[in-house]
Amino acid sequence: MTTTTTTTVLEASGVTMRFGGLTAVRSVDLTVSSGEIVGLIGPNGAGKTTFFNCLTGLYVPTEGKVSYKGTVLPAKPHLVTDAGIARTFQNIRLFANMTVLENVLVGRHTRTKEGLWSALLRGPGFKKAEAASHARAMELLEFIGLAHKADHLSRNLPYGEQRKLEIARALASEPGLLLLDEPTAGMNPQETRAAEELVFAIRDQGIAVLVIEHDMRFIFNLCDRVAVLVQGEKLVEGTSDVVQADERVVAAYLGTPFEGAPGAAELAEVEAAEAGADTEAGADAAEATADTPPDSPSGSPGTASSTPGAPSGTPESTPSDTPPDTTSDTPPDTTSGTTPDASADTSAEGKAP
Ligand SMILES: Nc1ncnc2c1ncn2[C@@H]1O[C@H](COP(=O)(O)OP(=O)(O)OP(=O)(O)O)[C@@H](O)[C@H]1O
């Protein structure tokens, strides 16, 4: 008989973040264990991204501490990345004029030991490290399904693929914990379904995941545990079933179910698209899938909407094949938490303290 030992990967205790008179996060405790996918949900302005920024060293919490695998983290993004935490951002931050492969290679730099002199002299050690990085980056591109686009400029990728590329770049730092800030924002239902599978696959590789998302079907299907932030405080934490059934969460965020909810329409759209794809896949595939009804999102909340609170980050109608304006030449300060420039990050999100 095999036994799996669960260890605490992330432990945030009493994290408080104040901006002048505003307390954006108030005494929040949260743990993520190995093998877990934990969701962080709540209305707009609840403090979710601020909490992420406290975890990744972009903000120095006013109070509280954050530990990774038992060690208190310094509030420096590059040190947090070194320790083993990587993240993606609500707004895509890729190097627009770099190729897909180069973007992933950028994420590798925390794991390459070769220094400046080694790079300038291009000795055997450097060449070996470079080849290993290249191989690993291609492996990650295979993993997310973008290896065939390794030479494309990232700005030319459809929106959903840009989001996946950000995830690959974060994975390039070989994290033990991945923080995803609204990974499905702007994705169409099919891309969202694929993103769900991708997160499961990441977890299966031994990486714990903490995810902020407004798409409740995505969250409740995906997460082992969900914490709800409201006005900076943790209101409830528990399994998807517990959270969905909690009257306070319904009142503060989810809302009451109603007939003909947008969530139901979205589900029908996904299933119709999947059925169409099956048909196109040919007679054999169609025959094979005919006996297998499409996966019904088991945890479908069946609540008023899959994106409660009309979140700004989930423009479900965003054309998935239109690259977003958000991609710019601006260096992605810390998709993998690599650039310790908190001011750059905060200004980019319009949240400069
Ligand atoms: N740098 C900052 N300076 C001042 N106030 C800030 C800063 N960053 C965030 N806030 C405020 O803190 C509160 C929490 O914001 P935050 O972005 O963390 O919420 P959120 O839950 O992530 O929202 P959303 O779902 O819309 O992304 C908001 O009132 C916001 O205006």
Per-residue pLDDT tens over the stretch 289-339: 444 443 333 333 434 345 564 443 333 333 344 444 444 433 333 333 333
**Amino acid of residue 17:** M
Name which residue sits closest to atom 14 of ligand 1, judged by CA.
Answer: 47
Per-residue pLDDT tens over the stretch 154-176: 999 998 899 999 999 999 999 99
CA distance 77 to 281: 45
**Amino acid of residue 134:** H
Name which residue sits closest to atom 18 of ligand 1, judged by CA.
Answer: 47
Given the CA of residue 17, which atom of ligand 1 is nearest to it? 12
Given the CA of residue 214, which atom of ligand 1 is nearest to it? 25
Distance from the CA of 251 to the center of ligand 1, in angstroms?
Answer: 21
Pairing of strands 85-87, 63-68: unpaired
Distance from the CA of 325 to the center of ligand 1, in angstroms?
Answer: 22
CA distance 196 to 319: 19
Task: Give the pLDDT of residue 272.
Answer: 72
Per-residue pLDDT tens over the stretch 54-76: 999 999 999 999 999 999 998 88
Position 246 pLDDT exceeds 60? yes
Please compute the mean of the pLDDT values over residues 341-353 and round it to a whole number: 35
Please compute the mean of the pLDDT values over residues 37-61 and round it to a whole number: 96
* Residue 130 pLDDT class (50, 70, 90 cuts): confident
Name which residue sits closest to atom 11 of ligand 1, judged by CA.
Answer: 24
Q: Which residues line ligand 1 (CB under 6 A)?
A: 19, 22, 24, 42, 44-50, 311-313, 346, 351-353
Given the CA of residue 312, which atom of ligand 1 is nearest to it? 26
For the purposes of burial, counting CB atoms within 10 Å of the CB of 224, is it exposed (0-12), middle (13-18) or buried (19 or more)?
A: middle
* Partners of residue 294 on adjacent β-strands: none
Residue that the structure tokens 């949900």 belong to: 41
Distance from the CA of 210 to the center of ligand 1, in angstroms?
Answer: 18
CA distance 223 to 353: 31
Distance from the CA of 45 to the center of ligand 1, in angstroms?
Answer: 5
Name which residue sits closest to atom 6 of ligand 1, judged by CA.
Answer: 351
Q: Confirm or reject CATH 3.40.50.300 for domain 8-348, answering yes or no.
A: yes
Largest Cα–Cα distance of the chain, in whole Å?
67
Distance from the CA of 237 to the center of ligand 1, in angstroms?
Answer: 21
Residue 2 CA, chain-centre distance (Å), reads 30
Q: How far is CA 306 from CA 12, 89, 142, 239, 288, in A?
A: 28, 21, 30, 17, 30
* Residue 84 pLDDT class (50, 70, 90 cuts): very high
Task: Give the pLDDT of residue 251.
Answer: 85
For the sheet with 225-230, list strands across it: 85-87, 177-181, 208-212, 37-41, 225-230, 233-238
Task: Give the pLDDT of residue 278.
Answer: 57
Task: Give the pLDDT of residue 121.
Answer: 60
Distance from the CA of 80 to the center of ligand 1, in angstroms?
Answer: 21
Q: Which of 50, 230, 347 has the most ligand 1 atoms within 8 A of CB, as the residue to mutate?
A: 50
